[in-house]
């Protein structure tokens, strides 16, 4: 009878995947304050970081990252700005990260956000392995909870990146929806030892098996990762920029991590 009950319970779990109510909330930012993002939770990437992008990420600059009216606002601007000890730049934005503050191994990561729109915009909600400073990318592993590019205005992308045989490998899915930038939507992953499921407003649209990145302890998706919220512009995937669409705002209502 005990074996039957355990088998029945497992079948129920498979047929009815875990939802947010089945997880315990372990970390969050509800953005119910004013001013700069909470420094106990968020740090900033600064400068030109990756992917040949056009924006300069500023450090704790309210014009690019602030909390107001219950939302985190990450704003990308076309402007003449001169960073300290740097030549003038043409575009500014922000990239917030929990690196050296919080990281997680497995869980449900859920973000409710409203996307910017226009050619060249490239907002993202994603994660990187905490060992990136020692092993580099892509060996550290990357989980892209949500990426959106303005040149694909109906597509939401969820992807994992890792190293296979010493080379970059990836696996991902695309969900097509009408005007995803017109309202707030919920973007989430459920990350377990077996798989990483990608969700848009509660609809699962892709699954990456954890073991595709390797067997055993070398698998980057069996190690802690930290969270990043950024608004990129142009670059390798963002494409040509429509200056007339700027400034644009990437609005985040909340960030919640369940385990």
According to the model, what pLDDT value does residue 8 have? 42
According to the model, what pLDDT value does residue 7 have? 42
Per the annotation, the verdict on 176 as an active-site residue is no
CATH (domain of 152): 2.60.120.200
According to the model, what pLDDT value does residue 21 have? 64
User: Could you say which residues of the chain have pLDDT below 70?
Assistant: 1-21
Asked if residue 3 belongs to a domain, the reply is no
Per the annotation, the verdict on 147 as an active-site residue is yes
Asked if residue 2 belongs to a domain, the reply is no
Asked if residue 14 belongs to a domain, the reply is no
Contact at 8 Å (CB) between 187 and 145?
Answer: yes
According to the model, what pLDDT value does residue 11 have? 44
According to the model, what pLDDT value does residue 18 have? 57
pTM: 0.92
Q: Of the listed 147, 176, 190, 194, which one is catalytic?
A: 147
Q: How many domains does the structure of the chain reveal?
A: 1
Q: Of the listed 53, 75, 110, 142, which one is catalytic?
A: 142
Q: Which domain holds residue 64?
A: 22-258
């Amino acid at each position: 009878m005990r074996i039957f009950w355990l088998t029945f319970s497992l079948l129920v779990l498979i047929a009815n995947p875990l939802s947010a109510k089945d997880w315990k909330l372990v970390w969050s930012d509800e953005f119910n304050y004013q001013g700069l993002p909470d420094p106990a939770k968020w740090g900033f990437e600064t400068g030109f970081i990756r992917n040949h992008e056009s924006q300069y990420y500023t450090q704790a600059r309210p014009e690019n990252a602030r909390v107001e009216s219950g939302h985190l606002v990450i704003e990308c601007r076309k402007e003449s700005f001169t960073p300290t000890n740097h030549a003038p730049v043409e575009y500014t934005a922000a990239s917030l990260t929990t690196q050296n503050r919080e990281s997680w191994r497995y869980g449900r990561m859920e973000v409710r956000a409203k996307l910017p729109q226009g050619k060249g915009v490239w907002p993202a909600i994603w994660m990187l392995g905490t060992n990136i400073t020692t092993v580099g990318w892509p060996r550290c592993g990357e989980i892209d909870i949500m990426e959106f590019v303005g040149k694909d205005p109906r597509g939401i992308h969820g992807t994992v990146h890792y190293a296979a045989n010493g080379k970059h490998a990836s696996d991902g899915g695309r969900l097509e929806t009408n005007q995803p930038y017109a309202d707030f939507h919920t973007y989430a992953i459920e990350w377990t030892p077996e798989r990483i499921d990608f969700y848009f407003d509660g609809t699962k649209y892709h699954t990456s098996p954890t073991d595709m990145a390797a067997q055993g302890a070398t698998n980057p998706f069996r190690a802690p990762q930290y969270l990043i919220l950024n608004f990129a512009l142009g670059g390798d995937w963002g494409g040509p920029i429509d200056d007339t669409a700027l400034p644009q705002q990437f609005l985040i209502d909340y960030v919640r991590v369940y385990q």
